[in-house]
Structure 1
Amino acid sequence: MSPAHIRNYRTLPEEIRERLRPELEAFSVLWDRLVQAAAATGEIRTDIDPFVLHLFVAHTSEQLVTWPDYAKPSTAKTVDTILALMRSGVVGPGGGGE
């Protein structure tokens, strides 16, 4: 999906949204398949709901285009940060939070 598509989709008239819906649904199906495959092979912790993870990843990636430039110094660095958050969370070794 293009940044313009993501940014403007919800503001478009219903008729146009309906025409674009297949592209949005294909994006969602792709993420659903990726997450389900990772869950099936044990790559995702069993206490993580795959559907919630799917929504988190899909919606976060959709919104990247709306982030201010200073929040995304480079695509590679932004992706690395998101992957680190997904893999390890925000609590460091020995960190609390509970």
Structure 2
Amino acid sequence: MARSAKNPGNASRDRILAAAASVLSEKGYSATRLTDIADVAELRAPAVYYYFASREALVAEVMIVGQQWVRKHVTEALDRLSPGTPALDRVCAAIDAHLRVELELSDFATAVTRNAGQLPLDVRTRVGHESAHYHAIWRTLIADGQADGSIRTDIDPRSARMLIIGALNWAPEWWSPARQSITVLISTAQSFVRAGLAAH
């Protein structure tokens, strides 16, 4: 079952959201059916429609919650760093937090990364605002690094941001804890990014 924050006032709705995140993270958007979600939530299918008008409405909320979960985890990791930490080190901390939340801590986060490209346009539009908030964190990290001298100024910051986030979001498609520890994955990702961004 998906791991998520609980809303004690609406346990059934939370169960549906968690079940939807679990099914989406395993099957993907195109193969996910409301009956599958109801089965995982241990509810009858009509109960899903009581809380969500359509499959698209449910998926949109799962995606928004997932993006909020990733953003919260990354923001908290950055807030724990000492003042004056170079921006490139902050980028590496964000990489660690992003990979851990999407691969270990939340089916919601995994559902986001695995399904973002499969969503119909209207659902993508609805979740785009939350995505913009997350990208703003990375935009600031790279801009701060170019300002403090820890990140190269001869690279395009937008391209760097999109390449990094794209690579991180692709990890659920191929990474398996049976083949590699998440610690090795994170250190490898940090090494690649540091080598590519570090000012010389």
TM-score tier after normalising by the smaller chain length = 0.7 to 0.9
- Tell me how far apart the structure 1 counterparts of residues 172 and 123 of structure 2 sit (CA, whole Å): 21
The C-alpha deviation readout for 1:22-42, integer Å capped at 9, x for no partner, is 122122111111111111111
* Shift in CA distance, 49/7, structure 1 to aligned 2, threshold 3 Å: same
- Higher relative contact order at CA 8 Å, sep ≥6: structure 1 or structure 2? 1
Number of matched residues? 89
- Displacement of 1:68 in angstroms is 3.6
* Shift in CA distance, 4/72, structure 1 to aligned 2, threshold 3 Å: farther
TM-score by length of 2: 0.40
Hey, which bits of structure 1, 4+ residues long, moved more than 4 A? none
Please tell me the root mean square deviation across aligned C-alpha atoms, in Å.
Answer: 2.1
Task: Specify the SS of the correspondent of 1:69.
Answer: coil
| Structure 2 residues without counterparts, runs of 5 or longer | 1-66, 68-108
- Displacement of 1:48 in angstroms is 2.5
Residue 145 of structure 2 aligns with an amino acid whose one-letter code is A
Q: Give 1:8's aligned residue.
A: 115
Pairing 1:51–2:158 present: yes
* Shift in CA distance, 21/71, structure 1 to aligned 2, threshold 3 Å: farther
Contact 1:35–1:50 at 8 Å: present in 2 too? yes
Task: Specify the SS of the correspondent of 1:47.
Answer: coil
Contact 1:72–1:78 at 8 Å: present in 2 too? no
* Structure with max Cα Rg: 2
Question: Identical aligned pairs, as a percentage?
Answer: 28
| Structure 1 residues without counterparts, runs of 5 or longer | 90-98
- Tell me how far apart the structure 2 counterparts of residues 76 and 61 of structure 1 sit (CA, whole Å): 14
Task: Specify the SS of the correspondent of 2:166.
Answer: helix
